[in-house]
Structure 1
């Protein structure tokens, strides 16, 4: 990979998808994955409910065995739902009552997190619900860190990456939190553009998510509630961190006053 794509001269880096994550993770102290519709939004809802999440590649024939090996429930696709099942749709997580561990596969955010588990010493998950808590945790625990923020994006029918604007906003929110609230500097030009994109929509998140292509797509197939949950800006204080191949909530390591100030 061309070294120009690694953004090595910048403390805060930004790129897209699995290959972009591999490029900017090298030399970074912290990697943050953002997949607003819906992996990291669903992840935040699960951790709020006390459910540990195991990221996995797209739901293939090995996913069920992976879930069984970890005594976990396997999330199904949105349109594969049956009564009592749990899907990648965050609303189904809220109604779950007996789930303790969840394998949450996706071709985007979950696949990136699964890959970063072996590349990054610290891997976090952020959405519009909890970006402030993630930025706070990084500032408290890694005040001099090099941070790589990855927008997961979506997929075209041929499997190629479709840059998704909602993930640009989500990554920009994390970056803005680090820069504007906690004084982090030395942004790559890519990271600066993500920050600017977030600042452009920060006051109208719900309508922006409803109007973007991914939001319209979800509404057309009957999952408008996913957009509403993704629009819950700053509603969650969870800090999803990958430990022992699963996301757990690290927010308990934030000082009590920091949580009270939000």
Structure 2
């Protein structure tokens, strides 16, 4: 057992792509949490019955990839106002059932595919599908929550509080007792933010970035809680819906 593996525990938590590189071989299921905006875009589309094809590069090759799939490709400009979709989650909320959309997102996509290559179950989680994700993951024994975070200019990991709190909420919704110390702390964090209706997250660094870029409506959308009854599972190259019955 590696000292960092959290191997003794069912529910585990670690941040960024390094979590996949170091912990993924000892789990059955991973939940990728990238709230602003990858995971929320995925949930927004899947909730309407569409499919999301993650793509790990934000360049012209994404369009060619989409054409090869017979799919649309989201614009890299969140403020894109033409026909189609962008990386803004609110731009995807009216996507039609059966549509296929390529989502260029280096962070969420890279972590998703790296986890998939370990041949485990991979889900995308956020605030909007928190309970749905927890219900879908309960059939797995060893679950790793991965708050993705962002990157500083030098390429190092910038942990993001909104990703961490969403992962905390999913852990709390799983309702298990055999939690690693990291996951135990996460439940306490969730309880703190839940009591405040997530209001402090409206002033976190990622939220302020979106507001400054003129897409403040995305902040409200990303912080809506439990709006989707569908979990989002990566099968092959696409995230598709997993319907969760109401209980």
Q: Which moved more, 1:217-226 or 1:81-90?
A: 81-90
Pairing 1:84-123 to 2, within 5 Å after superposition: 84-96=83-95, 100-123=99-122
Q: Is the 8 A contact 2:14 2:147 kept in 1?
A: yes
19-28 or 89-98, which deviates more: 89-98
1:92 CA displacement: 0.8
Query: Which residue of 1 is the match for residue 71 of structure 2?
Result: 72
Corresponding residue for 1:36? 35
Q: Counterpart of 1:132?
A: 131
What SS does the corresponding residue of 1:236 show, helix, strand or coil?
A: coil
Structure 1 residue runs of 4 or more that deviate by more than 3 Å after TM superposition: 95-99
- CA deviation after TM superposition for structure 1 residue 99, in Å: 7.3
TM-superposed CA distance for 1:210, in Å, is 1.0
The 3 A distance-change label for structure 1 pair 225 and 120 is farther
SS at match of 1:129: coil
Q: Say whether the 8 Å CA contact 1:108–1:152 is kept in structure 2.
A: yes
Does the 8 A contact of 1:55 with 1:105 survive in 2?
yes
Q: Could you say what secondary structure the match of 1:63 adopts?
A: helix
1:14 to partner: Cα distance: 0.6
1:79, 1:123 → 2: CA distance? 26
Cα distance between partner residues in 1 of 2:58 and 2:113: 13
Pairing 1:6–2:2 present: no
Matched residues in 2 for 1:218 and 1:99: separation? 29
Matched, 1:204 2:196: yes
Alpha-carbon separation, structure 2, partners of 1:167 and 1:72: 28
Deviation at 1:192, TM superposition (A): 1.6
Kept in 2, the 8 Å contact 1:30–1:120? The answer is: no
CA distance in 1, matches of 2:125, 2:162: 12
Query: What are the equivalent positions in structure 2 for 1:44-63 lying under 5 Å apart?
Result: 44-63=43-62
Q: 1-side partners of 2:12 and 2:205: how far apart?
A: 25
Taking structure 1 as the reference length, the TM-score comes to 0.88
Q: Is the 8 A contact 2:53 2:237 kept in 1?
A: yes
- 1:245 Cα deviation from its structure 2 partner: 1.5
Q: Distance in 1 between matches of 2:134 and 2:78?
A: 34
SS of the equivalent of 1:108 reads: helix
* SS of residue paired to 2:183: helix
Which whole-Å CA distance do the structure 2 matches of 1:152 and 1:228 have between them? 20
2:21 matched residue in structure 1: 22
2:237 matched to 1:242? no
CA distance in 2, matches of 1:196, 1:23: 25
Q: Is 2:57–2:104's contact at 8 Å kept on the other side of the alignment?
A: yes
Offset of residue 98 of structure 1: 8.4
Does the residue aligned with 1:77 lie in a helix, a strand or coil?
Answer: coil
1:227 aligned to which of 219, 231, 237: 219
Following TM superposition, by how much is the alpha carbon of 1:64 offset from its aligned partner in structure 2, in angstroms?
2.3
Alignment pair present for 1:166 and 2:166: no
d(CA) in 1 for partners of 2:89, 2:214: 14
Question: Using a 3 Å threshold, how does the CA distance of structure 1 residues 54 and 32 change in structure 2: closer, same or farther?
Answer: same
Greater percentage in helix: 1
Per the TM alignment, residue 244 of structure 1 is displaced from its structure 2 partner at its CA by 2.1
Q: Tell me how far 1:22 sits from its aligned partner.
A: 2.3
TM-aligned CA deviation for residue 100 of structure 1:
0.8
